[in-house]
């Protein structure tokens, strides 16, 4: 063992990320940007059309908005009306809660949440990450909400 | 009330002194030095004002000196040097030391235990009073009054029995030559229905009401002997209070869920009566305790606006004592509860507005009489809730603001005025920093510090201040603030399958009717209300229908009557589910604002709801529907 050539990667710090599917796309985000993952609660839909907003839910006394920043769910939301939550439940959807800045929370509906450890090398500098030869778009919370 | 105001003033002044010190400590790193020195100036101005009201004379003088120094300094903020900062630091320390030494004088000034403040017609009760000083003092503090009468010996027993029937036991009696001298106490407001009988008795038997003496002598005692302050105050970070409130609500939801679980399984437990009874009893106790906890925690966040209004009353009182002007202050809407953070920041701007109204607005009595006005000037301070906003008005019936004078003053000061076209634009100049048309600087106002500070403070709260004025008639300042958090009684209504909250203040009357009872004219609907036809609108918040069966006809609807732009209108909802006190919070930060949505709340069952701005919704409806007026019955 002592004679083996040690790989540079062996010295890299591993950063925990979560991969998830949001809409039909796969994303990856550092775990420290994610405040909580909750099972799908009762989502009260917004009565009027608000940009990128599906509704609100109650998390231990705090009202948190459910967003759809890339408008993946907008059609289902409009078509299904009161059955939209049921539709999400069937998909085994959970809510990923982000803290954008102190006390400002938001959430998105996601599926297939998994934990993965990535080194700095693997993270690279592009907006996408390759994990086991599968591309994942990097989900930068601040940039997503800055644009919206 | 005065103790509470004094405590608030002390807390606020400590905060302001600390703010000044922090600003000075960070002076070198401050980018906007103009703003920083202006802030320090405003804080010192506020400390000075408060000291004046509460007779912290020495501190007020020191603050006045520093204010003058800062006033000169802020004209050239960029040239402020380390020497200036050092001087300000020294002065603020003097103010702090003076403040605390005067504060401790106030707290060590104790009331000497004297005889209870009862003035007797006779000397009969002096021994009793001497032996029961503390008790009598407590009773007086609790609002009890005392009367003494001399009852004829033959009737004394019967009359004393009568007094006992009224609920008043004599606390002391002596037999004298002239009769039985009897001392009784009574709490007037509690037993008001008997007061006339008591009055007759007292008059008939040559008795008297023993009134409290007007003054109690105060004597300074060494600090070591001073009694501890009766009210302890603990400063708690806002975040902690918010966190406690969140946990209380979660507790409430868990309790509801347990209750729900119990009800669902009650059939299985029906044979176990003892368990069911005990559970229900404990559940009731839990619910009561949670409500109590919620109420106490909410009281940490919310405070009645009355506290601010009471302080302003003192400002006016103090002014009237020093000035020849007579001012009548009228107050309305003091029952509204607001976030304490908002109230703390409202103090300063409202004091400025009131001071401006009484100093610059209201004329003296001679001028008022010449103009055919009442001798007393009138200043009205009022607050009201309108949708998701609080409106606060400061109105005077004084001389109004002359736009021409504003323009002249602006030109003299070298301000740009060419772009100003309308009178309103000219009037807006009064909010410019350092702008003042006052011929002299008085102790009350005229330093031009008020209006720019007012606008800035209100804007920091997310609100705005505007004015309306008429020369010779008076001026009204209107402060509009968004509601950050409030407890409001709400109707929980259902519209197209979704639940909403509507403030009960929006609704004058509710009636459950069949949809066919509405009168139609094409697509327009009308509701008959006390002989008048009111236009009836759908509360069309949602474009989508969230009902499970949207095609199912509705057998009954609820029609509510409200006022929009001083006219009665009606609106319909599918169902009214309940009335609740709810905590209205603003929409989550990242959510787009919409005029129909005032905020959000959480129902006891745990689901969140949107709170509707009925006023805005109906206003839009009214604008869409053209030409509709109330139709009068002709037959």
- Tens-digit pLDDT profile for residues A54-87: 899 988 778 999 999 888 887 777 777 667 777 7
Point out the residues of chain B with pLDDT beneath 70: 1-5, 102-124, 131, 134-135, 138-139, 141-143, 164-169, 186-196, 206, 211-233, 253, 387-388, 433-450, 483-487, 540, 543-544, 548-552, 626-635
User: What is the enclosing helix (H) or strand (E) of B491?
Assistant: strand B486-495
pLDDT recorded at residue B334? 73
A21-55, pLDDT tens digit by residue? 998 889 999 898 899 999 888 888 888 878 888 89
pLDDT recorded at residue B43? 86
Q: Mutate which of B495, B591, B603 to test chain A, going by most A C-beta atoms within 10 A?
A: B591
pLDDT recorded at residue B38? 86
The residue of chain B nearest to residue A60, with distances taken between CA atoms, is B250
User: What is the enclosing helix (H) or strand (E) of A86?
Assistant: helix A84-90
pLDDT recorded at residue A108? 93
- What residues have CB less than 8 Å from B589, skipping those under 6 apart? A104
Is B608 in Cβ contact with A63 (below 8 Å)? yes
First CA to last CA distance, chain A: 52
Which tokens sit at A47? 């009565």
The residue of chain B nearest to residue A82, with distances taken between CA atoms, is B546
Closest Cβ–Cβ partner in A47, A67, A104 for B498: A47
The residue of chain B nearest to residue A80, with distances taken between CA atoms, is B546
The answer to whether B497 faces chain A, any CB pair under 8 Å, is: yes
- Residues of chain B positioned with their CB less than 8 A from the CB of A36: none
Which residues 206-245 of chain B have a CB within 8 Å of chain A? 245
Which tokens sit at B416? 């740009």
pLDDT recorded at residue B443? 45
Q: Which of B340, B322, B95 is nearest to B314 (CA)?
A: B322
Q: What are phi and psi of B562, to 5 degrees?
A: -145, 175
- Residues of chain A positioned with their CB less than 8 A from the CB of B250: 60-61
The answer to whether residue A7 scores a pLDDT higher than 60 is no
pLDDT recorded at residue B119? 62
- Residues of chain A positioned with their CB less than 8 A from the CB of B592: 50-51, 53
Closest Cβ–Cβ partner in A44, A62, A65 for B591: A65
Which tokens sit at B136? 């009598």
The answer to whether B317 faces chain A, any CB pair under 8 Å, is: no
DSSP-derived 3-state class of residue A98? strand
Q: How far apart are CA B408 and CA B313, in angstroms?
A: 34
The residue of chain A nearest to residue B495, with distances taken between CA atoms, is A47
pLDDT recorded at residue B482? 75
Burial of B633 by CB count in 10 Å (0-12 exposed, 13-18 middle, 19+ buried)? exposed
Closest Cβ–Cβ partner in B250, B546, B590 for A100: B590
The overall average pLDDT reported for chain B is 77
Nearest-CA distance B410 → chain A (Å): 41
Strands (E), B102-165: 109-111, 145-151
B546-596, pLDDT tens digit by residue? 776 666 677 888 999 988 877 889 999 999 998 877 777 888 888 887 878
Look at the alpha carbons of B28, B31, B33, B37 in this order and tell me if their dihedral is positive or negative: negative
The residue of chain A nearest to residue B592, with distances taken between CA atoms, is A50
Closest Cβ–Cβ partner in B248, B498, B602 for A63: B602
Is A48 in Cβ contact with B594 (below 8 Å)? yes
- Residues of chain B positioned with their CB less than 8 A from the CB of A45: 498, 544, 546
DSSP B518-548: SEEETTEEEEEETTEEEEEEE----SS---S
DSSP-derived 3-state class of residue B162? helix
- Residues of chain A positioned with their CB less than 8 A from the CB of B608: 44, 56-58, 63
Which residues 20-79 of chain A have a CB within 8 Å of chain B? 42, 44-51, 53, 56-58, 60-65, 67, 78
- Residues of chain A positioned with their CB less than 8 A from the CB of B547: 82
* Parallel, antiparallel or unpaired: strands B498-503 and B608-612: parallel
pLDDT recorded at residue B141? 66
Residue B236's alpha-carbon distances to B240, B343, B544, in angstroms, are 7, 17, 45
Which tokens sit at B106? 């106030």
Is A78 in Cβ contact with B544 (below 8 Å)? yes
Q: How far apart are CA B581 and CA B298, in angstroms?
A: 12
């Amino acid at each position: 063992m002592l004679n083996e050539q040690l790989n540079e990667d062996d010295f890299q710090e591993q950063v925990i990320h979560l991969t998830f599917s949001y809409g039909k796309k796969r994303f990856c985000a550092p775990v420290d940007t994610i405040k909580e993952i909750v099972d799908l609660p009762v989502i009260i839909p917004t009565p009027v059309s608000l940009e990128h907003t599906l509704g609100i839910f109650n998390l231990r006394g705090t009202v948190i908005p459910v967003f759809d920043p890339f408008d993946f769910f907008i059609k289902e939301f409009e078509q299904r009306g009161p059955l939209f939550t049921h539709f999400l439940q069937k998909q085994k959807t959970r809510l990923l809660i982000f803290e954008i800045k102190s006390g400002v929370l938001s959430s998105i509906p996601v599926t297939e949440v998994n934990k993965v450890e990535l080194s700095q090398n693997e993270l690279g500098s592009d907006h996408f990450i390759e994990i086991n030869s599968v591309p994942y778009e990097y989900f930068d919370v601040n940039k997503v909400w800055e644009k919206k | 009330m005065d103790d509470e105001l004094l405590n608030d003033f002390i807390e606020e002044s400590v905060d302001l002194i600390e703010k000044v010190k922090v600003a000075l400590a960070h002076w070198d790193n401050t980018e906007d030095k103009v703003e920083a020195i202006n802030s320090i100036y405003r804080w010192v101005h506020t400390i000075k004002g408060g000291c004046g009201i509460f007779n912290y004379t020495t501190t007020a003088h020191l603050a006045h000196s520093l204010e003058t120094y800062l006033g000169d300094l802020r004209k050239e903020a960029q040239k402020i040097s380390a020497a200036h900062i050092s001087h300000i630091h020294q002065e603020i320390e003097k103010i702090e030391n003076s403040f605390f030494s005067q504060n401790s004088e106030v707290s060590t000034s104790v009331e000497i235990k004297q005889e209870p403040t009862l003035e007797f017609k006779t000397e009969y009760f002096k021994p009793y009073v001497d032996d029961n000083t503390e008790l009598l003092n407590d009773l007086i503090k609790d609002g009890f009054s005392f009367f003494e009468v001399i009852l004829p010996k033959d009737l004394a027993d019967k009359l004393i029995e009568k007094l006992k029937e009224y609920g008043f036991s004599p606390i002391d009696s002596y037999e004298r030559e002239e009769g039985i001298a009897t001392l009784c106490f009574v709490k007037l407001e509690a037993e008001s229905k008997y007061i006339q009988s008591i009055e007759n008795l007292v008059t008939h038997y040559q008795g008297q009401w023993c009134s409290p003496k007007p003054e109690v002598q105060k004597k300074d005692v060494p600090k070591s002997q001073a009694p501890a302050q009766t009210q302890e105050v603990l400063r708690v970070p806002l975040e902690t209070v918010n966190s406690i409130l969140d946990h209380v609500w979660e507790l409430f939801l868990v309790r509801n869920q347990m209750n729900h679980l119990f009800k669902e399984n009650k059939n299985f437990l029906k044979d176990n009566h003892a368990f069911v009874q005990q559970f229900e009893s404990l559940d009731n106790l839990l619910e009561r305790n949670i409500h109590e906890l919620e109420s106490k925690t909410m009281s940490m966040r919310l405070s009645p606006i009355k506290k601010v209004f009471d302080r302003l009353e003192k400002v006016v009182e103090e002014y009237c004592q020093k000035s020849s002007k007579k001012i009548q202050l009228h107050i309305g809407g003091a029952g509204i509860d607001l976030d304490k953070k908002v109230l703390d920041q409202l103090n300063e701007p409202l004091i400025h507005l009131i001071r401006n109204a009484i100093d610059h607005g209201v004329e003296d009595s001679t001028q008022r009489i010449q103009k055919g006005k009442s001798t007393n000037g009138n200043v009205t301070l009022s607050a009201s809730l309108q949708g998701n906003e609080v409106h606060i008005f400061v109105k005077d019936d004084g001389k109004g603001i002359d736009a021409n004078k504003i323009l002249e003053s602006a030109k003299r000061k070298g301000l740009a005025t060419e772009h100003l076209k309308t009178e309103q634009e000219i009037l807006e100049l009064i909010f410019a920093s350092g702008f003042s048309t006052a011929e002299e600087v008085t102790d009350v106002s005229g330093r031009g510090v008020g209006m720019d500070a007012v606008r800035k403070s209100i804007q920091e709260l997310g609100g705005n201040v505007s004015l309306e004025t008429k020369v010779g008639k008076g001026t009204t300042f209107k402060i509009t603030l968004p509601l950050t958090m409030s407890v409001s009684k709400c109707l929980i209504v259902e519209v197209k399958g979704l639940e909403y909250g509507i403030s009960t203040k929006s609704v004058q009357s509710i009636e459950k009717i069949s949809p066919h009872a509405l009168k139609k004219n094409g697509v327009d609907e009308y509701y008959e209300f006390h002989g008048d036809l009111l236009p009836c609108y759908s509360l069309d918040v949602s474009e989508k229908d969230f009902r499970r069966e949207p095609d199912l006809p509705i057998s009954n609807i609820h029609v509510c009557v409200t006022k929009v732009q001083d006219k009665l209108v009606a609106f319909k909802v599918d169902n009214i589910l309940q009335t609740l006190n709810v905590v209205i919070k603003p929409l989550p930060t990242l959510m787009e604002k919409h005029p129909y949505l005032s905020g959000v709340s959480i129902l006891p069952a745990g689901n969140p709801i949107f709170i509707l701005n009925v006023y805005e919704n109906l206003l839009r409806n009214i604008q869409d529907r053209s030409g509709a007026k109330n139709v009068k019955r002709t037959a």
